[in-house]
Amino acid sequence: MSSDISHDQHGAPITAPVLDWTSDYDIFDPQYINDPYGIWAELRQTCPMAHTDRWGGSWLPTRYADVYAIAHDIEKFPSGNGISVVPLVDPASDGDSVPGNTPSPVLTSGVPPISADPPLHTWTRRLILPTMSPARVADYEVFTRDLCHRLVDDVLESGTGDAASEYAQQIPVRVIGHILGVPEDMSATFTEWVRDVLEFAHDVERRRNGISNIIHYLRGAIEARQAEPQDDFITELLNSEHDGEPIGTPVVMGMCALLLIAGIDTTWSSIGSTMWHLAAHPDDRRRLVAEPNLMPTAIEEFLRVYAPVTMARRLTEDKQYEGRPMKAGERILMNFPAANRDPEVFPDADRVILDRQQNRHLAFGTGIHRCAGSNLARMELRVAIEEWLARIPEFELIDPAAVTWAGGQVRGPRSIPVRIS
């Protein structure tokens, strides 16, 4: 967690190799980032609540039943004490701090609703939901489809492309920018800031810079709308009230930061994993092209099997969980991705079954913090896949070994070189 930690060529931290996944796991270990599935299967059998002292100490449940129960027990496992999987430099953004770090700009209200417990959670979530309703999302679909169409044009023109960095990564940042009312030419910059916050959370400097850049940008965007209101969500939030009072700039800032952070890396990772699967599994790809009516179940299956998000809860006092002594300050990693591959709940859990009928997956979490953007995320994933397959039904990985993955709080492919076949 120090800023002088060394990194490999993809930016992943180089830490001591893991010898025992039950008592010393590391979610930033390259093995965990590249292929965590075998590790989860083993842990589920031998130690379904693994522990590590790394990154401030945490617990890693791998069974669906445990992840589900912890997500619903908000008294014992609140979100207000910290939701990051590693200790943060920015106390107010996570209720957490690393002693000795220089102060950084803070989101004084955190990033509600995800970092909040009721009552702040309840009313801030209520302010977001209408913007993410099915009807509003249907409006954003026009913009999304046009965007995907343009991106596919570029791949068709050259015959090759990177399905992660030149396609998946380009979509959610522009869609959420469109909703918030931030210019499209800021997309690459936003993407870098969000990567600094999530993918490089373990790197104190990068994380601090990412948060500070987002705050600086949003401060300007909010001031501009206070001077001249626009037809966008930032303006809508500035005009919102709670208990008869304006909700205040710090809450607006925190909520906008959350939408940027939560809306970008997550969805791009899901689109990217799905693109990787379709490139590497021609049978599934051809079946989906031949039977487009499978799209709704296929989308749920891709969300299940490649769930990208692991959030955390943090204990403020010592607790017992099913006989395990959990210490104050430790985290519990909400391992939604591992829960989704629990064979107790999903028969043939590691296999992609495009027409899987029973699929109560936890990719979007569960309980009061269940993803507020799930309608939007599902639409983006569906439209991205539909637009690509409609015009590029046959494509393949140029070199399977060249595919790279990023992990930590959000896992997904960062590079998928493909050619039209």
Range in contact with ligand HEM (rule: CB under 6 A) among 1-9, 11-19, 92-100, 307-315: 307-315
Regarding 36 and contact with ligand HEM (CB under 6 A), the answer is no
**Residue 125, H or E segment:** helix 120-128
The tokens for 34 are 């590249």
Q: Is the dihedral of CA 301, 281, 406, 256 positive or negative?
A: negative
Residue nearest to ligand HEM according to CB distances in the complex: 373
**Smallest gap from residue 91 Cβ to ligand HEM (A):** 19
Answer for which of 168, 309, 383, 418 binds ligand HEM (CB under 6 A) is: 309
Alpha-helical segments (H) within 12-112: 30-34, 37-46, 64-72, 91-94
**Smallest gap from residue 267 Cβ to ligand HEM (A):** 4
Regarding 272 and contact with ligand HEM (CB under 6 A), the answer is no
**Smallest gap from residue 323 Cβ to ligand HEM (A):** 24
Regarding 88 and contact with ligand HEM (CB under 6 A), the answer is no
Q: Under rule CB under 6 A, how many of the chain's residues touch ligand HEM?
A: 29
**Smallest gap from residue 220 Cβ to ligand HEM (A):** 21
Q: What is the 3-state secondary structure (H, E, C) of 237-277?
A: HHCCEECCEECCHHHHHHHHHHHHHHHHHHHHHHHHHHHHH
Range in contact with ligand HEM (rule: CB under 6 A) among 230-238, 272-280, 314-322, 371-379: 371-379
Regarding 375 and contact with ligand HEM (CB under 6 A), the answer is no
Range in contact with ligand HEM (rule: CB under 6 A) among 34-42, 308-316, 384-392, 411-419: 308-316
**Smallest gap from residue 228 Cβ to ligand HEM (A):** 24
Instruction: Give yes or no for a cis peptide into 113 (omega within 30° of 0).
Output: yes
Range in contact with ligand HEM (rule: CB under 6 A) among 4-12, 51-59, 254-262, 390-398: 254-262
Regarding 372 and contact with ligand HEM (CB under 6 A), the answer is yes
Q: Is the CB of 101 or the CB of 411 nearer to ligand HEM?
A: 411
Range in contact with ligand HEM (rule: CB under 6 A) among 45-53, 241-249, 260-268, 293-301: 260-268
* Longest pairwise C-alpha distance within the chain: 60
Q: Is the CB of 334 or the CB of 383 nearer to ligand HEM?
A: 334
Distance, in Å, from the CA atom of 51 to the CA atom of 22, rounded to the nearest integer, reads 6
**Which residue, chain included where needed, has tokens 């790279």?**
404
Task: Provide the 10 A C-beta neighbour count for residue 132.
Answer: 20
Regarding 237 and contact with ligand HEM (CB under 6 A), the answer is no
Residue pair 265/194 in contact (Cβ under 8 Å)? The answer is yes
Distance, in Å, from the CA atom of 248 to the CA atom of 245, rounded to the nearest integer, reads 8
**Residue 296, H or E segment:** helix 295-305
Q: What are the DSSP E strand ranges found in 3-134?
A: 49-52, 58-61
Range in contact with ligand HEM (rule: CB under 6 A) among 19-27, 41-49, 241-249, 357-365: 357-365
Alpha-helical segments (H) within 334-373: 336-339
Residue pair 40/305 in contact (Cβ under 8 Å)? The answer is no
Q: Is the CB of 86 or the CB of 372 nearer to ligand HEM?
A: 372
Q: Which residues bind ligand HEM (CB under 6 A)?
A: 71, 79, 83, 113-114, 125, 128, 176, 258-259, 262-263, 266-267, 270, 308-309, 311, 334, 336, 363-365, 369, 371-373, 376-377
